[in-house]
Amino acid sequence: MLIRQLNYLVALAKEEHFGRAALACNVSQPALSGAIRSIERELGMTIVQRGQRFEGFTPDGERVLAWARRALAECEGLRQEARATRGDPAGTLRIGAIPTTLPIVSLLTEGCLLEFPRMTQEVYTLTSSEILRRIANFELDVGLSYLHDERLKDFATVPLFRERYVLVARDHTMFEGRDTVSWADAARLPLCLLTRNMQSRRGIDAAFNAAGLDVVPRVETDSMMALYAYVRCAGLYGVLPHSVLCLLEMRQELTAIPLVPELTREIGLVLLQREPRPALLAAAMANFERVDLQTRMDALLDC
């Protein structure tokens, strides 16, 4: 069995189409199909369900696919080790981040860009569920997400900071003389909130519910930039994690005030429990763990 054949198998799982998988691998469709049949003959089992088109993997195929992903990940780790010189790893670090953490990704990773000139980075905006799925499938190296999740028991985690929630507004006069605002006060305002499928919104709803409030926002969006625009241009009010305030424009154009009772959520790194770690990931994690995000995030509320 060749590494090339395993690549074909993983490509088919990703594309869910023989033609697209062949295109992604730069081979003809018959060549890809023949390689997968060769794996089936070698293992003595059916891996792919075939009809008029790709219909998924058999249970045996799912197990083979898991091994294929792991084998390819280990091969990539070996390549990284071979390419690395002392203190100078080479390759692409793949990072998945939930939307509310995007503003702080650069704060976390800027040290790697300076320290490791042969490291490149790919950053993807994903849900927490998709981050975990892709990490488990070796499609991401590390994720940035909430750590209060029972699914994380099978992953390694590194806490980074605790985010607090703030009310943001264009009109600063309503906050004059106040250090905080209650969830009840916020509920009486015309709100723009993140959509309910986002973990951040679920925490916000829980805080409103704990205060006995049922809030119906005027606008819901899954885009941080759209929420910012509604607050800045349409005069609505938003509830956001305070880490978003590290965006310079938001700090200059909007006013933020902490909500009480305080709602905090722990943000951290998520990765596979895997030893040894690939050279690139090991170097990045050592760099990340030297970054004091908590101090930088707390300072945002003092500005």
CATH of the domain at 38: 1.10.10.10
pTM of this structure: 0.79
- Mean of the pLDDT values across residues 241-252? 72
Would you say residue 250 has pLDDT above 90?
A: no
CA–CA distance, 130 with 151 (Å, rounded to integer): 12
CATH of the domain at 202: 3.40.190.290
Cβ partners under 8 Å of residue 55, min gap 6: 48, 49
Q: Are residues 180 and 204 in the same domain?
A: yes
DSSP lists the bridge partners of residue 165 as 241
For the chain, the average pLDDT equals: 89
Helix (H, G, I), strand (E, B) or coil at 192: strand
Q: Are residues 261 and 170 in the same domain?
A: yes
Query: So what's the pLDDT on residue 168?
Result: 92
Would you say residue 249 has pLDDT above 60?
A: no
For residue 278, the number of C-alpha atoms closer than 13 Å in the C-beta half-sphere is 28
- Mean of the pLDDT values across residues 27-42? 90
CA–CA distance, 98 with 66 (Å, rounded to integer): 25
Q: Are residues 52 and 191 in the same domain?
A: no
Q: Are residues 153 and 108 in the same domain?
A: yes
Which band of pLDDT confidence, cut at 50, 70 and 90, is reported for residue 255? confident
Query: What token pair was written down for 63?
Result: 């197990």
Residue 52 CA to chain centroid, in angstroms? 36
Residue 276 CA to chain centroid, in angstroms? 23
- Mean of the pLDDT values across residues 29-37? 90
Q: Are residues 39 and 52 in the same domain?
A: yes
- Mean of the pLDDT values across residues 209-225? 92
Query: So what's the pLDDT on residue 74?
Result: 82
Would you say residue 291 has pLDDT above 90?
A: yes
Q: What domain range includes position 8? A: 3-81
Would you say residue 86 has pLDDT above 80?
A: no
Number of domains in the chain: 3
Query: So what's the pLDDT on residue 84?
Result: 63
Q: What is the pLDDT of residues 162-207, one digit of tens each?
A: 999 999 998 877 778 888 999 999 999 999 999 998 888 988 999 9
DSSP lists the bridge partners of residue 168 as 238, 256
Q: Are residues 195 and 115 in the same domain?
A: no
Q: What is the pLDDT of residues 89-100, one digit of tens each?
A: 888 999 999 988
